Amino acid sequence: MISEHIFNIAAICWMLSGLLIFGVLFKITAPYGKFISNKWGAMVSNRMGWIVMEAPPLLLFSYFFFWGNNYQNLVCMVIYLLWMMHYLNRDLIFPFRTKTSGKKMPLAIMLFAIIFNTFNAFFNGYFLGFFADYSVSWFLDPRFIIGFIVFVSGFAINIFADNVLFKIRKNSNDYQIPYGGIYKYISCPNYFGEILEWTGFAMMSWSLAGLSFCVWTIVNLLPRAFANHKWYKQHFPEYPANRKALIPFLF
């Protein structure tokens, strides 16, 4: 068993490594989706790649959580179930709802995502399984209450945004401008929702593990959101000028 001191140092190092590459991701856009490129080498099925790369947060997170004794802790179990709610959707529902037949993704992207997801699954699963120490009163703590509201709000935004895109892709093979709901204000409500989810998760768990995942989520999705926003403006002259990339009314 890893000591909590060593674990926390490792979580801090993981978080700092994300901050170190933050600037790089503004210059290198991951080549999947509308930015797909075969310059990254071998390609794999988009659906298969997605399922494989999103599997560690389901499997490894559960393994580390149930390896410890905290599955008997009610607060830990609720936080575990919220995590699983997100990843059951991302790994086992989302790839079968999206129109992805015949599409590919670079094998390298799948492998990078596996590494990223493995680290996050380890840190958060291990923390919840071994180090978390919540009493039932934590449910009434403002950090848990606010975190829960933020997480669920982010999940709802994420699902809504996906549904809008699914509807567009169901009726056309071409990219179109999405409309409705929070799309009125930002180009990437799916990313905004996911950032809210893991911000809420970090508050609920009140842990370095949760914070590191939140930081890495922002590191990954903020540059991607700016790239998407720029792409839409370049390809659609009529694109709404008042839309921001990621955060309503701000940027």
Model pLDDT, residue 34: 79
Residue corresponding to tokens 């720029």:
230
pLDDT value of residue 100: 72
So what's the pLDDT on residue 161?
96
* 0.85 surpassed by pTM: yes
Quote the pLDDT of residue 114.
97
The single-letter DSSP state of residue 49 is H
The pLDDT of residue 188: 97
CA distances, 135 to each of 64, 138, 173 (Å):
21, 6, 51
C-alpha 198/C-alpha 216 separation (Å) is: 10
C-alpha angle 248/21/245, rounded to 5°? 15
Alpha carbon distances (Å) from 51 to 43, 93, 166, 211: 15, 10, 18, 25
Per-10-residue mean pLDDT, the chain, length 251: 95 96 86 77 91 97 97 97 97 88 87 96 98 97 98 98 91 87 97 98 98 97 96 96 95 94
